[in-house]
Structure formats: C-alpha cells, structure tokens
Amino acid sequence: MLGVVDELELMLGPLLAFVLSGVLGWERENKQKSAGLRTHMLVGVSAALFMVLGEAMVKEYAGTASQVRFDLIGILSAVVGGVSFLGGGVIFSSAKGSTQGLTTAASLLASASVGVACGLHLYWLSSAVTLLFWFILSPIGSLSRSLTSGTAKD
C-alpha cells in the first residue's frame, strides 16, 4: 500500500497540470471560447491523474502479482480517445461552410498532453511545451488573425 509521502509525490503531477493547463484555458477564456479555463484545467488534471493512477498501480501490484500486466500506453490511448470525443463536441460547421471550434478542440488535446507529461513527472518538458502551446494560441493566433483580416475562426 502506498504511504502518505508516496501519494503526496504523485500529487505533484496533477498539481502542475492544474497550473499549466490553466494557462492554456485562460487564453481560451479570454477569447470567450466554448472550452475555457475550467474545461482545460479539468482535462489537464484528469489526464495527469490517469497517468499517475497507472504508475500507482504498477508500484502497488507489479511486485506481488506476476500475472498482472500494466499498460501505460493503453491509459494514454484512453486519454487521447476521451479528449478527442470532447474536442469533437466543440467543433461545428455552419450552413455557409465555415467551421468553428477547431483551435479550441486542439487546445483541449494540448491540455491533455500537458497533463499526461505532468502525470509522467516530466515537469520541465510539460512546462516548456505549455509555453509553446500558449505562444501558438496567443501571439501566433493574433498574427494569423491580422494576416487574414479577421476572417479566420478559432
């Protein structure tokens, strides 16, 4: 059984995911998109928690049960599938042929990937990638909109 100290160590991943996915969500919130701060934070922390739970299962059961198999790739696949389902819900097309919500859906997937990295205790990587994602969403997004004279939809 995991001790309190072990569980507190495992909590570092979801805590950092909370902060980093919040950065991405805040950008979406400021642009009044359908998936904002809370949604991104929930996705990021959930993804981190799923990965941490996988790690906890390995620590708890791997040494005692030779018949038990652990598949962290399966957990990752489930996270991506679940977030993709959520992302599909924010994408819609109008009768005029314009599509909206693609960037928001992609930012949800980005938050999930940051959460997974946090759950795997890759703190520097998740922090650096969050900065890249934020740069893509904010400064590059503004540049893209100015170059297309406001016709691009997030």
Which pTM does this prediction carry? 0.83
CA distance 73 to 51: 9
Token pair belonging to 87: 């992302």
Question: 3-class DSSP state for residue 57?
Answer: helix
Instruction: Quote the percentage of the chain above a pLDDT of 70.
Output: 91
pLDDT in tens, 112-135: 999 999 999 999 999 999 999 999
Task: Give residue-wise pLDDT tens across range 31-44.
Answer: 888 888 999 999 99
Extents of the domains making up the chain:
4-147
Exposed e or buried b per residue across 116-139, where buried means at least 16 C-beta atoms within 10 angstroms of its C-beta:
bbbbbbbeeebbebbeebbebbbe
Say how far apart CA 123 and CA 121 lie, in whole Å.
Answer: 5
